[in-house]
Amino acid sequence: MSFDTKNIRNIVLLGHSGSGKTSLAETMLFEAGEINRIGRVEEQSTISDYTNIEQERENSIFSTLMHANWKDSKINMIDTPGLDDFVGEVISSMKVADTACVVLNAKNGVEVGTELIWDYIERYKTPAMIVINQIDHDKADFEMALAEASEHFGSKVIPVQFPYNSGIGFNKIVDALRMVMYVFPDGGGRPEKHPIPDDVMDRVRSMHNALVEAAAENDEGLMEKFFEEGTLSEEDLAEGLRIGMAHQEIFPVFIASAVRNMGSGRIMGFINDICPSPADRPEAELEGGQTLACNANGETSLFIYKTISEPRVGNVSYFKVYSGQLKSGMELLNAENRNSERFGQIFISNGKNRSNVDELKAGDIGVTVKLKDSHTNNTLNIKGTDRKIEKMVFPEPRMRVAVDPPSKNDMEKLMKALHIIEEEDPTLIVEQSATLKQTLLHGQGQLHLDLIKYRIEKVNNVSMEFIKPRIPYRETITKMANTSYRHKKQSGGSGQFGEVHMRIEPYYEGMPEPSDLTVRNTDIEVLPWGGKLAFYWCIVGGSIDSKYSNAIKKGILQKMQEGPLTGSNCQDIRVCIYDGKMHPVDSNDMAFMIASAQAFKNAFKDAAPQILEPIYDLEIKCSDEVMGDIMGDLQTRRAIISGMQAEGRYQKIMAKVPLAELYQYSSSLRSLSQGRAKFSRKFAEFQAVPHDVQKALMDNYQDNMAEV
């Protein structure tokens, strides 16, 4: 059975780790009759969190697609991880969702992870509702959680419900939209409807009026009705709330105890009745500035938001139909590579359980298998249509490790497996660094990289160890130096001869030309690793034929690839070749390459050489309680604090930190803050290392060279 676009609801469950998203999804599926018993996370029996590693950790690591039929609608639900290391799963899920259901822990309120998620809600302009969960916890504090939601997310946060008796013994929800009190049996499930008690009636009327006013504000016709009649009918109220949610003007708040199945049925009803369908959302943005309406009568286009590789199945692709209808057996063209893909089977999903369907209409989310050349972020269209839905943008990696190279055979298997995971996971970058002579993995944090290691070892049966990555230092100079070098080699027959006189000095944009040299030719080379080489040919009188200039430059570049101090790349140097000698028989390109390389090496050491290190901008968001510990830790990492500011009840610390001091920072910060701090980092610049660090680096390099 396929559902019309207006009868589809796409919900993404978001929240800090431990807020109870997976349990809420479980009770929603149960209430809808999709499952006949409620699974438990601790029993490893939930529809979501079905992989071995999720069951071992009792945490969501991957997003999970589920669905439930409710009245005449199909509700697609995507459960997402609450750990920041797996933010890629959150971003991809939000891309295809039409409503965000933000789950708060009634004991902890708005946590750092929740704020991070809200940033994405605002970026994607996603309608949102809030569920304050675990209201039956002995330390549950509904008023605190609601106040924090209002403080962080603004006056658009409007409560629909509140608990009549929170904490242990919780079993009553007062609903200001329906003007009723729900009383649940001890085991949870379907509640009885009771009149609202007199002692809370004034509060309920106030909440109801706030909902009516918020609904009326979003439509002129409803506003006129409200002024004329002083209230709105149930149908008008629902319409006003639907419009308000669709435009992010209202963020309604519900309560629940997911584990005890109290409140989830009412949430499902609200999603069905009020939350926007894909047709109610703004048109999808296309590359090139155009838009695409979600219309089942249009030409077929779909977007792959997630790809995974499953043993014995191969590639599994999760997609949303953005336009038209997808029918089993259809062939679509990948807009990225122009390859044709046949959709032999189409599935709808409840976790690992998939059911065949014949078609899906615009707005629906589905699954297919064995696409040959299509991956995450690809758009596929019916032939004759050329659209590219705007791609998802993922955050910069925050952690890197090097891979200890195994045997040659295992290395080939390892790289193949890593590239398969890289295709699935856009937040992972696999780099084979020629400069550092290491294979590097760039990820979101220690847990993210540990997951990669787990998958490689368990699925691919390849041993994989992480080691500390080398630092991409740079070498440069701080003053001028002149030198010469003669290369002369005679060993029977023609020999080698080349003599080069050169000046080297620090290079910067707009520096004056040398006043004491006659510049014949200039070549500003942008180096592959960053920075520049300014190569000046200043030979007068033909002491070196200009035909050797390229060989001389090549010798300098070779030496700049492995600098004299630590073997690191050199940058931002001007070299002037102003004199030399050649031999009519023995001079050749090789002779001048060797001469220029040695001359550069000698001059470099006389030009007050300086090692530069990469500096990163670090931004940390944390609570007041752990701020002191985090600041103290930063001081041990040679950090320079560039600013601090309050954001709600959290503090934001900005600092500049050398990359060499950020190894395993993700784990350190998690330990310092008990998991209640988040950070991001971004390359800023190269800066000179302190003198003692430079000496240690040079000594270490010389020791390593002596061992070779």
pLDDT tens digits, 323-373? 999 999 999 999 999 999 999 999 999 999 999 999 999 999 999 999 999
Give the per-residue pLDDT at 673.
87
The answer to whether the CB of 7 falls within 8 A of the CB of 45 is: no
Q: Which of 280, 311, 345 is the last residue of a domain?
A: 280
Do both 560 and 534 map to the same domain? yes
Check pLDDT > 80 for residue 225: no
- Interacting residues of 645 by C-beta distance below 8 A, sequence separation 6+: 651, 652
pLDDT band at 493 (very low <50, low <70, confident <90, very high): low
Do both 326 and 196 map to the same domain? no
Q: Could you tell me if residue 508 is inside a domain?
A: yes
pLDDT in tens, 272-331: 999 999 999 999 999 989 999 999 999 999 999 999 988 778 889 999 999 999 999 999
> Could you list the residue range(s) of the whole structural domain that residue 682 is in?
611-693
Q: Could you tell me if residue 701 is inside a domain?
A: no
Do both 555 and 586 map to the same domain? yes
Check pLDDT > 80 for residue 114: yes
CATH number at residue 301: 2.40.30.10
Instruction: Return mean pLDDT, the chain.
Output: 92
- Interacting residues of 493 by C-beta distance below 8 A, sequence separation 6+: none
Do both 113 and 174 map to the same domain? yes
pLDDT in tens, 151-170: 888 899 999 999 999 889 99
Q: Which of 221, 252, 280 is the last residue of a domain?
A: 280
- Using the 8-state DSSP alphabet, how is residue 62 labeled? S
CA distance 174 to 168: 17
Calculate the CA dihedral of residues 323, 324, 329, 331 and round it to 10 degrees. Answer: -60
Calculate the CA dihedral of residues 51, 52, 58, 61 and round it to 10 degrees. Answer: -50
407 or 289, greater pLDDT: 289
Angle at 89 between CA 87 and CA 94, to 5 degrees: 95
Work out the percent of the chain whose per-residue pLDDT is above 70. Answer: 99
Tally the domains of the chain: 5
Check pLDDT > 90 for residue 216: no
Do both 155 and 252 map to the same domain? yes
The secondary structure of 415-442, three-state, reads: HHHHHHHHHHCCCCEEEEECCCCEEEEE
CATH number at residue 482: 3.30.230.10
Q: Which of 607, 624, 640 is the last residue of a domain?
A: 607
Identity at 265, one-letter amino acid code? G
What average pLDDT does the segment 388-394 reach?
A: 95
Do both 548 and 672 map to the same domain? no
Token pair of 69 as six digits: 């039929």
CA terminus-to-terminus distance, the chain: 69
Q: Could you tell me if residue 83 is inside a domain?
A: yes
Do both 84 and 231 map to the same domain? yes
Q: Could you tell me if residue 54 is inside a domain?
A: yes
The answer to whether the CB of 31 falls within 8 A of the CB of 254 is: no
**H helices present in 383-490, as ranges:** 408-424, 446-459
Give the per-residue pLDDT at 435.
84
Q: Could you tell me if residue 699 is inside a domain?
A: no
Backbone angles phi, psi at 270, to 5 degrees: -65, -40
Give the per-residue pLDDT at 197.
95
Q: Is the dihedral of CA 394, 400, 406, 411 positive or negative?
A: positive
Do both 426 and 442 map to the same domain? yes
The pairing of strands 8-14 and 99-105 is parallel
What average pLDDT does the segment 50-68 reach?
A: 88
Q: Could you tell me if residue 521 is inside a domain?
A: yes
CATH number at residue 201: 3.40.50.300
What average pLDDT does the segment 670-686 reach?
A: 88
Token pair of 546 as six digits: 């200009």
Do both 163 and 47 map to the same domain? yes
CATH number at residue 445: 3.30.70.870
Do both 331 and 369 map to the same domain? yes
The SS3 assignment for 318 reads strand
What average pLDDT does the segment 432-459 reach?
A: 90
Q: Could you tell me if residue 394 is inside a domain?
A: no
Do both 626 and 557 map to the same domain? no
pLDDT band at 28 (very low <50, low <70, confident <90, very high): very high
Do both 289 and 272 map to the same domain? no
Q: Could you tell me if residue 705 is inside a domain?
A: no
pLDDT band at 115 (very low <50, low <70, confident <90, very high): confident
